[in-house]
Amino acid sequence: MAQAFSPHLTIMIQAAQKAARRLLRDFNEVEQLQVSIKGPADFVSQADLRAEAVLHEELGKSRPGYAFLMEESGAHGSENWAWRWVVDPLDGTTNFLHGLPQWAISIALEHRLPDGNSELAAGLVYAPAQNEMFWAEKGGGAFLNDHRLRVSARREFKDAVLATGIPHAGMSPAVRMAFARTLGGLIPEVAGIRRFGSAALDLAWLAAGRFDGFWELGLNPWDVAAGVLLVREAGGFATDAEGGDPRAARQIIAANPALHPLLRARVAEGIAAAARLG
């Protein structure tokens, strides 16, 4: 990559690359990892924990006053933070543990605004197995390694390939029903639907134009924060079903400008249908 990166992005890239080196070693010796179960179909491995520790150390020593929101260890630092790292050290743990190379490190940087809300200042999704570094800064565009990204230009569902995340056993019946109703409505309308198991990479691939849309229910802020900025800086939209901020809603609908309102309507219909069924 030939770009002259900002100080923040330089810190993020260096931290991700250091964590990735250990993750790749663990991936090649995955059968030796200790694995714990957080809930039904929800795993955490030594690899997750070691990668998070590396990221916390590297980001923390570079910006000691910044807070953290991390998947495994939660929130750290002042509640009145001005800047906060949002980190998923290994998005796609189930893939990782099964030897599937679709997993990534996700790091986002939030900046708190005077009104108390926050904006995404920078985002990075790194897929070490493919050596693909997706990155973006607010107002600066989105990139894959050194190539500028744009969302796809497809305008109709019949031409579109969508990505999604299928609810697992630990999710509520309401979430599973809402997903099923949405999926059932979309299948006859679109060119295809894919499920790869890493929301961070799904969003990065959407920003790269590999997918035309993406939706998932039951997500956390660290799953989507970096990807949301990537999609927006690549010219797409990323919201919840009501058009609000997906970081707080535990749901996301993302797509290019033409398909986003169509996909958001379908997901909202699925959620409403599930609610009517109780």
pLDDT in tens, 138-196: 999 999 999 999 999 999 999 999 999 999 878 889 999 999 999 999 999 999 999 99
- Cα separation, 242 vs 217, in Å, equals 13
| Residue 41, pLDDT above cutoff 50 | no
Beta strands in 24-180 (DSSP E): 35-39, 42-45, 67-70, 74-76, 83-91, 104-112, 118-127, 132-137, 141-144, 147-148, 161-164
| Residue 34, pLDDT above cutoff 80 | no
On the CB side of 118, CA atoms within 13 Å amount to 22
Say which residue the tokens 């000691």 belong to: 64
Across the range 3-8, mean pLDDT stands at 87
| Residue 47, pLDDT score | 86
Degrees to nearest 5, angle at CA 237 with 232 and 243 = 130
67-70 and 35-39 as β-strands: parallel, antiparallel, unpaired? Answer: unpaired
Helix (H, G, I), strand (E, B) or coil at 257: coil
Q: Answer whether 35's CB lies under 8 Å from 44's CB.
A: yes
- Model pTM score: 0.94
Q: Answer whether 125's CB lies under 8 Å from 225's CB.
A: no
Q: Answer whether 226's CB lies under 8 Å from 123's CB.
A: yes
Domains and CATH numbers, the chain: 7-148 (3.30.540.10), 157-276 (3.40.190.80)
pLDDT in tens, 106-137: 999 999 999 999 999 999 999 999 999 999 99
192-194 and 161-164 as β-strands: parallel, antiparallel, unpaired? Answer: parallel
